[in-house]
């Protein structure tokens, strides 16, 4: 086996952060820094949220990006849509509800738009009438 030069080898020795915690994560900008995870069709989580947000806005929904998820409203209560890698599907990106319940693959955002519209219609049609509210 040929010997590696120091330029070819990246070693991450444990270091201490300012609060004294040991860390093996390479510092940002180092040669060994991790690139954002990208799924098979080369979309990052942010790009997937951007695309879904644009689709929902084009149908007149109020959409707000909040970190790694979207908050979508249709005048009433919002629904949240997140993007996560799904280990049981070859780590592909999936849109999920808050809590990680899968909605649909990032590669087919139209399915997620339909699910979001249905969810908004359902939660906003429910009203707390006396027979629905427990004392």
Query: Residue 107: inside a domain, yes or no?
Result: yes
Query: Residue 86: inside a domain, yes or no?
Result: yes
Residue 78 domain boundaries? 45-125
Query: Residue 7: inside a domain, yes or no?
Result: no
Query: Residue 104: inside a domain, yes or no?
Result: yes
Query: Residue 14: inside a domain, yes or no?
Result: no
Q: Identify the DSSP state of 89.
A: G
Query: Residue 115: inside a domain, yes or no?
Result: yes
Q: Which residue has the tokens 């004294």?
A: 20
Q: pLDDT per position in the chain (135 positions), as tens?
A: 444 443 333 333 333 444 444 333 333 444 444 445 544 444 689 999 999 999 999 999 999 999 889 999 998 899 999 999 999 999 999 999 999 999 999 999 999 999 999 999 998 887 565 555 554
Query: Residue 36: inside a domain, yes or no?
Result: no
| Residue 128: per-residue pLDDT | 61
Ramachandran angles phi, psi of 73, nearest 5°: -125, 155
3-state class (DSSP) for residue 113: helix
Query: Residue 84: inside a domain, yes or no?
Result: yes
| Residue 131: per-residue pLDDT | 53
Nearest to 39 by CA among 110, 80, 94: 94
Give the CB-side neighbour count of residue 29, counting CA atoms within 13 A.
Answer: 0
**Model-level pTM?**
0.63
Give every CB contact of residue 53 below 8 A, 6+ residues apart in sequence: 63, 65, 70
For the chain, the domain total comes to: 1
């Amino acid at each position: 086996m040929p010997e590696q030069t120091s330029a070819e080898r990246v070693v991450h020795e444990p270091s201490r952060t300012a609060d004294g915690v040991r860390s093996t994560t390479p510092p940002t900008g180092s040669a060994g820094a991790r690139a954002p995870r990208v799924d098979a069709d080369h979309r990052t989580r942010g790009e997937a949220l951007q695309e879904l947000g644009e689709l929902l806005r084009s149908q007149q929904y109020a959409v707000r990006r909040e970190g790694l998820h979207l908050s979508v409203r249709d005048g009433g209560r919002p629904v949240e849509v997140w993007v996560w890698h799904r280990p049981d599907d070859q780590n592909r990106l999936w849109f999920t509800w808050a809590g990680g319940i899968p909605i649909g693959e990032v590669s087919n955002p139209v399915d997620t738009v339909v699910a979001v519209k249905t969810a908004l219609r359902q939660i906003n049609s429910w009203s707390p009438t006396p027979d629905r509210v427990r004392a």
